[in-house]
Every structure is written in structure tokens, then in C-alpha cells.
Structure 1
Amino acid sequence: MTLAEPASRTIGERVAEEGALIVSGHDRTGIVAAVSTVLTQAGANIVSLDQHSTNPADGTFFQRTVFRLHDLAVVRTELEKALDRELADGLGLQWRLVESDQPKRMAIFASKTDHCLLDLLWRQQRGELKANVQMVISNHPDLAEKVRWFGVPYFYVPVKDGDKKTAEEEHLRLLAGNVDFIVLARYMQILSGDFIGGVGVPIINIHHSFLPAFIGAGPYQKAKDRGVKLIGATAHYVTEDLDEGPIIEQDVVRVTHADTTRDLMRRGADVERLVLARAVAWHAEDRVLRNGNSTVVFAS
């Protein structure tokens, strides 16, 4: 017995491919109508539509429209011409068309801590992410065997004698043309502005976030010593300002005086995994739209 392709993907002998149209720009009347008209005239069926305006009177408009269109890859050029004519020239909007069936290429940077790294590899293996891990890059050799078990190339690039520039040049060589975004899965090195600018793709980071914040070594012990009641994690895009880039996702878990430092570390690792996985999944599905140093996240 063979399993047929799901009926929702094929009508007759033509493949109905999924696309996502991302639109942003100055809010004004007629944007939703224009998007719908262009897609309808191209023969697309709109599956979902999310939109947001920072201020309906004079704000910035964001929209993500998911649609299905027969032979999208074939008709894409004509569709792009229509989008340019109606959205860019006609309404002054920025737009981006994505073929959703094509997974994004992801690189993961890690050091010695493995919980976020292995969670992402496991989720990719289970098909939970619209992304393929192309490589793992680390400044330590410790996780090589664990990563190779998933069939993913592992590159050990040490920072010798504090020479971060040479290491980052090797990173850029490995990444050039091979990835669409990067994830820092507890990578314990600060990226230089030259690297961030030179790599040319979005970078997502994860870090713990306590109230109050505890920076430096031993944050969980500091949190225990202060009697914190909440621990959490923040996933954000990387900018040259350390840990101050646009936030994608956050979450917290409640703890008590009875929790040991080890308990806090375990619960912190759990929330870091979940927050990073959600951020990566949403980015890979083009659900995260940047708005200055903030984000609009269509996560429904």
C-alpha cells in the first residue's frame, strides 16, 4: 500500500504551492484590498491573513498573507511584477514574497552548554522547524560527537590567545552563501560589529532574564541568594548593542525559596529551550517583522 500526497496539495495534476507575502509601510486605506486583488488575479487562494498597524491614523502597517497558488515557482516572476506595480509603485509599500515550502538554512553557534543546541537539532529531526541546520560552529570541541549523531557538520573554531578577528574570519568563510540565518545557542562569545555586518543574515540569541537582572558569572547562584520568585529567558535579534536587539519571544517560570540553585538552573534551561525554539520557528516561518528596535510577531 502506498500513501498518496495529501489532496490539499494537488488539484488535478498541478501542484498548489504555499507562499507567504510580507508587506510593510505607511498605513493608509486600500492596502488589504490591493494585496487581496493582486493575489486573486494571480489565481491564488488566501489561506490566512494577519495584520497590525502601530497607529491607524498615521502609523506603520504590517501584514502577513499566506496563500496557495498552482505552480508558484513558475508564475512567480509575473506575480512579482504585479506586486511591484500595485504595492511598491502604487502604494509605496515594501513587500517580500516567500515560497513557504522551501525551508530556511540555519547555522547554530554553541560553546559547551548543550541544552538549546540539542533541542533545536531534535526538533529539526522531528520536522518541527521549517529550517535545516547546515552546520554547527563552536569555540570548543566538547559537543562534536553529540552533534554528529544528528548528521550535522561540526566545525571547531577556537579563539586562540584572544584573537577573535581570525576566528570570525573563519566563521564568515564557512557561512558565506550557505545560510539564511544564525542561532546563538548559548554561544559564550560576543560577536563583533564587523562580523554582524559582514555575515549579512539575521542572528538570533537566547539569554536568561531574571528580575532583577544578574549579569556576569554564576547568575543562578546570585538569583538564589536574592530570593527571586521568577526566572525566565529572552530570545532576540543580535545587534552591536549587547542583548539589546529586537525581542522575539520571552517567558518565565515561577520558583520558590525551596528551590536549590541546581533547581533554578534546570528550570532556566527548560524555559530557554522553549523560548528559543519558538523564536526560531516563528522566524523560519516569516512570522517576525522588525519595526525599528521592536518586532511584530504573528504567532497565531
Structure 2
Amino acid sequence: MPSKNCLTWVNGELGNVKPYSMQWYNYKLLQLDSLIAIKEFNELKRELNSLKVNRKLPPMFSVHMRIYQAKLDLIDGNKSHAKKLLQLSLEDLQQLNQSFYSPLRMIKIANLMQDLEQYAQSLTLLEKIKTDFESSRDIYLKLDLYGNLGHVHRHLKNYDAALANYKLSLEFAIELGNEQQISTLYAHVARMYQATNQLELAELNFVEALVHAEKDAQRSTVTNSKINLALFYVQQLELDKGRVLTNEIDGEKIEIHQKDKWKIISDTLKTGQ
């Protein structure tokens, strides 16, 4: 399913429920989750700013707001403030989980640990969840679990383990049919093949990421995939292939998290002319 369909659906549902009701807050979280998943960070920033009003927010919603703001701060380079927000969110989620245990919330805690560079603690927690829920048939749980195991092993430079876990997460994304997640996970798999010097497989998976991004039909997803593939080509000094992709990208509409990659690509192509 294209991610823009999910976003369109939740935007419609927001208009069908009473504003600031519990159902409205649930839909609002889905909307914000969708924006961060498809990397529409400018729109996410606008939504967060519109919510910063003198209104008492539900505790869980406030925690998520803090996490989203921290993610934006990390992208903007405000690492110190982001870490303060993440630490507060981590403490709140840990306290909440003592009363209402949820494996998905535990995975979110593990993800926050990674943002705080607490990689060993994150890995220990994720491995425990993996053991405790080994027989679970919850596809969403397995998708999130193996994806985060891939992330933490990548941070720890355990690239073979990261590759194995990303491939497992990809299987569940394919089963769910979420094209944006499929595209993202193909890109993660590609990077791990690149990190382990399996360059032909890396290229194939970057191409697959772009194929599924185009099925997703979300501009940000397509642009991200083209930049990732173009960067791979310029790193391999296949400049003509990289140039073809960059000619299809509007440099004025690149999200801030891709600016560094775009600069590397542009500089390399200029010096390689």
C-alpha cells in the first residue's frame, strides 16, 4: 500500500471525529508517525508547532510529541537539547511500562536508547524481547523488532548481524505490503551489503529500494531512494549513472536530513567532469 494512501486516510479520519477527543489524539499520532516514516520533516514540524498551544495533552501523547521534537532537533543538529528530551521520554516510557507492559513500547524504549547512544543496553533489551516473543505471530511486532535489531547491530558495526536482521524485517514488511517500509528496508539491506563489500548485491538492493519507492509514489520516498542510489554510484566512481539520477532530482526540495549526501554527490560530480 502506498504511504500517501495511509496519510490521506488518517487525515480524513481526523476530520470525522471530535477535535481533542481520545480518538482524535489516536489518529493524530498515526498522522505524525506517518510523516516521520516518510521523512516529511517540514510538514511534521508544522504539525508539532500547531499543537504547541495552552492545552493539557494526554500523557502518552505528550511523550510522543517530545520524541518527535527530539528527532527533529537531531536532524537540525541540536543534539544537546534532543538528548534531554529523549532521556525524559525514556524515563516516562519505562515508568509507564512498569504499570502497562507492552512489547511494542519496549521496542520504542530500545529505539530511544539507540538515539542516546546506549547501544549495549538497547541490544540486551531487544534480545530479551526476541526471546520472550519468539512464538508471536504479530507481524508488526516482528517488523519493528528485527528492524531495530538491524539498527543496533549497524551502530555496533556488526554488519553481518545487521544484514541478517534487516532481511528478516524486510520479509515482514513485504508480508504487510507497506511499500514505504519495503523501500526503506531494501536500502538498509543495500548499505549492509556495501559495508561488507558485496557491491553487486548492494546495487541490486538500492535499485529495489527505488522500485518500491516509485510504487509508494510519495515524492519524499522517491527522492530519498534516488539520492541513496546516486551516492552509491558516485562512491563507486560510476559518475554517469549518478548524474542520470541527480538530473531527476530537484535540489531545492531536498529534506535537511539528505543535504549532506546531496553535497557529496554534487561535489563529486563537479570534480569528476
Q: TM-score range by the shorter chain?
A: under 0.3
Asked which structure has the greater CA Rg, the reply is 1
TM-score by length of 2: 0.25
Report which of the two has the higher share of strand.
1
TM-score by length of 1: 0.23
